[in-house]
Amino acid sequence: MIQNPILPGCNPDPYFLRVEDDYYIATSTFEWFPGVQIHHSKDLVHWQLLTHPLTHVSQLDLRGTPSSGGVWAPNLTYKDGVFYLVYTDVKNRTGVYKDTHNYLVNATDIMGPWSEPIYLNSSGFDPSLFHDSDGRKWLLNMRWNFRKGYKRFDGILIQEYSVEKQSLIGSARVILEGADWVIEGPNLYKKGEYYYLMLAEGGTGYNHSVTVARSRNILGPYERDPDNPILTTRNDPDHPLQKAGHGSIVETQNGDWYMAYLCARPLKSRKLCPLGRETALQRCDWTEDGWLRLEGGSHLPKIIVEGPSLPPYPFKEPKEKENFDEEKLGIHFNTLRVPADDSWLSLKERPGYLRIKGRESLTSLNEQSMVARRIQHYLCNIETCIEFDPEHYMQMAGLICLYDENDYFYLRISHDERLGKHLGIVTSKQGKYDELDNDFISIEDWDRCYLRATVREEVIQFYYSKDAIEWNVIGPILDFGQLSDEYEGKLGFTGAFAGMCVQDLSGQRKHADFDYFEYKIIDAVL
């Protein structure tokens, strides 16, 4: 049986692909580097994070990118021995204008190397590439209209792509007009005599949905499914999987059909989703008159879904504790806007430790020194051990739980005239910085310090220790819900991360050494 969500914690906008006996799902990564997460399965039950295709600044330059901008809705397809990945790099997402640049990279092996990007267009976001049976290739994307009096989500564009010219050719055409609300995420499929256009409608929040339209001609006109939306929870506020939408489909080797879609699991007491938008699977059927339906006829997601009749293919469980004994960071680690390179990070200068050199502040959109991973469970412990000797208050290092530069909880070591080397918590709530002064603790004579954050459904609590045996509470109980997309009207798309970071606002690049980083699931079920 398939347990949803299959990809927990900030894995939204899934694109689902089968290549012979292998299944892949590509998900969005926003301002985090490397770009695009590609997950792999052979049985649809067991999944592992396999690779990241966008690993170089020449493929993805995120410096200056706003939070929840960057990589949106990657689309992964395969044709004639080549993988194609198209994605949006969002440089501006607020206000009337949107700067949304669409690119294509390709590879003959899913593990790469992936090509340098080919620029496609900037007319809207959520691009997808369709390979028609006649050999032609077509790019689809939503179109953004900033003008007063027009629908912002102005319809779905299609334009031919030339492999030989490595560019779009001909004119772009609108194949589906904009609706009264959000229409995006176009994915095109061909089955029998019809082209099927799968869409995300209603916005990626609580009104989200999957809708379908079809046409006998790729350029339209497209008729909408009379039973739309085929997947949604907008009318079921108590369903455990909310925000269901943005679907893509595959057919298994045995002729079964499954849809991958995004969803979110709210806190029990509030409509806040600090784990972000996640990926789930649903089994599907086709009606006699050629429309796609969820198995059983419902419009609602399921927590437990029957898997296909394929041999079980479990993967080795990810390590709970990363001891930094390898030559590169583990695959679940991400860096903020910039790649992990020797200019600010090293696993070699002190073997068995991750050395991070301090750079810009937590509000910087350029070159922060941060290594983090998704918080994927409502019950987990996050722990590290740090060696750091700051000389003044501009040098800081420690354990952070964050949503973005405006909302974070930071247990950090620093130095001041009053306490010398000390440990304390600094926070930001909707951009308002605060220091929890009453809880600053002198650790002047400590060579190393153990730091821990515990997530218990709605709350986060920090702890510290000198020996990893006796742990002490530090600071108040903190609101995990603050680290969510919807907190106090925020419009973001990522979810909570936890990690290690170092700042040196003096420019001296003072380093901290981290001995390990542990992410331990206490209970994977909310």
Q: Annotated catalytic, 184?
A: yes
339-368 average pLDDT score: 98
Task: Encode pLDDT of 437-458 as tens digits.
Answer: 778 999 999 999 999 999 999 9
Q: Which residues pair with 141 in a beta bridge?
A: 157
pLDDT given at position 526: 41
**Rounded percentage of the chain residues whose pLDDT exceeds 90:** 96
What's the CA gap between 410 and 158, in Å, rounded? 46
| Fold of the CATH domain 2-305 | Tachylectin-2; Chain A (2.115.10)
- Would you state the structure tokens that stand for residue 254, as one six-digit string? 């045995």
Mean pLDDT for the chain overall:
97
Upper half-sphere CA count for residue 212 (Cβ side, 13 Å): 23
- Would you state the structure tokens that stand for residue 290, as one six-digit string? 């050629």
> Can you list the positions of beta strands (E) in 316-406?
321-322, 334-336, 345-346, 354-357, 369-374, 379-387, 395-404
pLDDT given at position 437: 78
pLDDT given at position 439: 80
Task: Encode pLDDT of 35-91 as tens digits.
Answer: 999 999 999 999 999 999 999 999 999 999 999 999 999 999 999 999 999 999 999
DSSP state of 149: T
The answer on pLDDT for 525 being more than 70 is no
pLDDT given at position 387: 98
pLDDT given at position 219: 98
- CA nearest neighbour of 317 among 48, 21, 26, 13: 48
The answer on pLDDT for 3 being more than 70 is yes
**Rounded percentage of the chain residues whose pLDDT exceeds 70:** 99
Domain over 321-521 is classified CATH 3.60.21.10: no
pLDDT band (50, 70, 90) for residue 178: confident
**3-class DSSP state for residue 11?**
coil
The answer on pLDDT for 340 being more than 50 is yes
pLDDT given at position 193: 97
Q: What stretch(es) of the chain map to CATH 2.60.120.200?
A: 321-521
- CA nearest neighbour of 465 among 446, 478, 445: 446
| Residues contacting 470, CB < 8 A, separation 6+ | none
pLDDT given at position 359: 98
What's the CA gap between 34 and 51, in Å, rounded? 9
- CA nearest neighbour of 204 among 276, 269, 295: 276
- Would you state the structure tokens that stand for residue 121, as one six-digit string? 């267009």
Task: Encode pLDDT of 110-154 as tens digits.
Answer: 999 999 999 999 999 999 999 999 999 999 999 999 999 999 999
| Residues contacting 264, CB < 8 A, separation 6+ | 241, 242, 243, 273, 275, 276, 277, 278
Q: What stretch(es) of the chain map to CATH 2.115.10.20?
A: 2-305
What do you get for the CA distance between the two ends of the chain, in Å? 19
The answer to whether 340 touches 346, Cβ cutoff 8 Å, is no
- Would you state the structure tokens that stand for residue 207, as one six-digit string? 């009104």
| pTM for the whole structure | 0.97
514-525 average pLDDT score: 87
- C-alpha 329 chain-centroid distance: 18
pLDDT given at position 157: 98
Per residue, the 3-state secondary structure of 458-511, as one string, reads CEEEEEEECCCCCCEEEEEEEEHHHHCCCHHHCCCCCCCEEEEEEEECCCCCCE
Task: Encode pLDDT of 401-417 as tens digits.
Answer: 999 999 999 999 999 99
Q: What are phi and psi of 438, to 5 degrees?
A: -65, -15
> Of the residues 43, 89, 184, 479, which is catalytic?
184
pLDDT given at position 337: 98
At position 130, the amino acid (one-letter code) is F
The answer to whether 210 touches 198, Cβ cutoff 8 Å, is yes
89-100 average pLDDT score: 95
Q: Annotated catalytic, 341?
A: no
The answer to whether 187 touches 292, Cβ cutoff 8 Å, is no
Task: Encode pLDDT of 197-231 as tens digits.
Answer: 999 999 999 999 999 999 999 999 999 999 999 99
pLDDT given at position 523: 73
pLDDT given at position 392: 97
What's the CA gap between 477 and 473, in Å, rounded? 10
